[in-house]
Amino acid sequence: MKNYLQPLTFTPEGTYETPISDGALVYKKLPSFFFYLRLIDVVITGSNVAKRGGYTRQQWIHDSMRVIRGLERAGVILNITGINNIKDTPSPVVFIGNHMSMLETTVLPGIIAPIKPVTFVIKESLVRYPLFKHIMIATNPITVTRTNPREDFKKVISEGTQMIKQGISVIVFPQTTRTVSFNPEEFNTIGIKLAKNAQVPVIPIALKTDAWQNGKLIKDLGKLIPKMKVYFSFGTPLYIKDRGNEEHKQVIEFIQNNLKRWGGS
C-alpha cells in the first residue's frame, strides 16, 4: 500500500482539510471521468479480494482512502471536524447522520475505521447490487428492507446490539432515502433506540456531500462537482436518558446548524 493511501492526518484540534495543491490539472478538466476510472478499479480489485474471503478492515480502509484521494485529485476539497470526539470515546458508538449521496458511504470507512471498527445499516438491495455486493457483504452490514418497518426495527436492534457487544460501532442513516435537503420529519429514531438498548453513546454526523451528485440513469453514479466543498462534522457524544427524545432533538439540531453554516438546507 502506498504512503499517500495511509489514513488521514488530523490536526491536534481534530480537523482535516484537503491541501489545495493535491489536485491534478488533467483530473480537474474531466473530474467525473477520471474519478470513476479510479472507482471502478477500486470496486473490481476490492470485489476480487472479497470473493476470496480476504476483505479485512485494513483493506476497507485502503479502498476508502483510494476513493478519498481520487476525489481530492479531481479537485474536491474535504473538510472534516470533530474527529477527537471519536478518538476520545473509548466504547463503541452509534453514529447517526443525514444521508446525502454515495460519497459518505465510500468515504466514512476511511475516516472512522482507522479509529474504531465500524459497519453500516444499509438497504438489503445493496448486498445484491452487482457493482458493490461482494464488498458490502464482506463488511458485515446490518441490512434492512425499508418495506417492513417493524421487522427492520427488530433486526437493527438485535444485530446492532450484537455488533456493539463485539466492539463494532454502527453507522445509521435514519432517512429513508438520500436527499440534499434535510427534513427532520423523515429522520426516525432507530439510531437513538439502538444506542439506548446497547447502552452506548451516540455521535451525530452532519455532512454535506452533494459534490457527488445522484445520477439520472444510475443513482449511485452521478456527476462530480469539485467546486462544491465536502463537509463532515462529528459532534460530541450523547448519552441516552429516558426515552431519548432530547438526544434525538440534539442530533437534528446539530445537523441543521451545520448545514446552515455550510450553505445547505
pLDDT band at 127 (very low <50, low <70, confident <90, very high): confident
Please tell me the predicted confidence (pLDDT) of residue 25. 66
Please tell me the predicted confidence (pLDDT) of residue 176. 73
- What would the pLDDT profile of 172-222 be if each residue is shown by its tens digit? 999 878 888 999 999 999 999 999 999 999 999 999 999 999 777 677 778
In a domain, 264, yes or no: no
Please tell me the predicted confidence (pLDDT) of residue 2. 45
Q: What is the mean pLDDT of residues 111-140?
A: 90
Please tell me the predicted confidence (pLDDT) of residue 20. 78
In a domain, 259, yes or no: no
User: What is the value of pTM for the model shown?
Assistant: 0.93
CATH number at residue 216: 3.40.1130
- What would the pLDDT profile of 30-75 be if each residue is shown by its tens digit? 899 999 999 999 999 999 999 999 999 999 999 999 999 999 989 9
In a domain, 111, yes or no: yes
| 52: its cell numbers | 476470496
In 3-state terms the chain splits into helix, strand, coil percentages (rounded to 5) of 45, 15, 40
Q: Residues near 261 by Cβ (< 8 Å), separated by ≥ 6?
A: none
In a domain, 80, yes or no: yes
In a domain, 260, yes or no: no
Containing structural domain, residue 203: 3-251
In a domain, 234, yes or no: yes
The per-residue DSSP string of 48-95 comes to HHHHTT---HHHHHHHHHHHHHHHHHTTPPEEEE-HHHHHT--S--EE
Kind and range of the H or E element at 120?
strand 118-123
In a domain, 258, yes or no: no
- What gap in Å lies between CA 236 and CA 154, rounded to an integer? 27
The total number of structural domains that make up the chain: 1
In a domain, 224, yes or no: yes
Residue 23 confidence (pLDDT) above 90: no
